[in-house]
A and B are shown apart, each in its own frame.
Chain A
Amino acid sequence: MSMHRLLIGAAMLMSATSGVRADSPNLGRVVSPEEIAVWDISIAPDGANLPHGSGTPAQGEAVYRAACQTCHGERGAGKPNDPLVGGQGTLTGEGLPIKTVDSFWPYATTLFDYVRRAMPLTAPKSLTDDQVYAVCAYILSLNGIIGADDTMNAETLPAVRMPNRDGFVLFSRSR
């Protein structure tokens, strides 16, 4: 191939890929939004990426008993692993703070994001989106953050105001 044709080829590649450098390997496969959707499970505080579906505390209680209670105790009391309720007032006390969804977590969207990707520990990603909404609703209702009859969905979950929402500051170096 002549240098002239190489240069033309490089120029065409540049224009076709919106400014990608021709000297970069460019071996990535362009992926469609449909392909990405299944993988894109992260939920920011604005809730923009929340899936369809919904759940209530009552529905969530059944899910919780079957999938969560073994590790997190009855009604989120904890043991053997992290408690999900209580701990109010412990962030400034003498002992180690008890950090629960109620006392510490700043965003309800984090609860959905985490449960859907990682819980239950022995069978992660086994809950349906409806079940995740429901179990989030149950945990939030246990803490009195939402009412016993409230429904959690893509609109209501991001609107939940968490008690410790203003409890975080950005780190800056002290010296």
Chain B
Amino acid sequence: MSNFKIDMREMNNINVIDLKGYLDAHTAPELEKAFQDLLEGKKFRIVVNCRDLTYISSAGLGVFMAYIEDVRKNNGDIKLSNMSPKVYNVFDLLGFPLLYDIAKDEAEAINKFNTLQY
């Protein structure tokens, strides 16, 4: 499926991943690679902006779970932001809000990084 897109930005030592479209078993490897690249580059302060994410499947959720441990071990975090109610519901069903910082918007997520030092 080509209706999935990842954009990466870096601002103030925080890396923002913009997700767009349909994140499922077919497109999950792309996100996986994005995380891998960040970790290889020792970038552990990551915000995933889900504003344009329309759907996420269990395989997509699995990608976040695969990297959270490594990121936190390195005093970093993966924070999620700008979720639509529908996407939030999927994260919520699985209990993601218990494990992950889910912010209302990107600024809030970045702010959390800046105020709370790991």
Partners in one complex: no
Residues of B within 8 A of A (CB): none
Residues of A within 8 A of B (CB): none
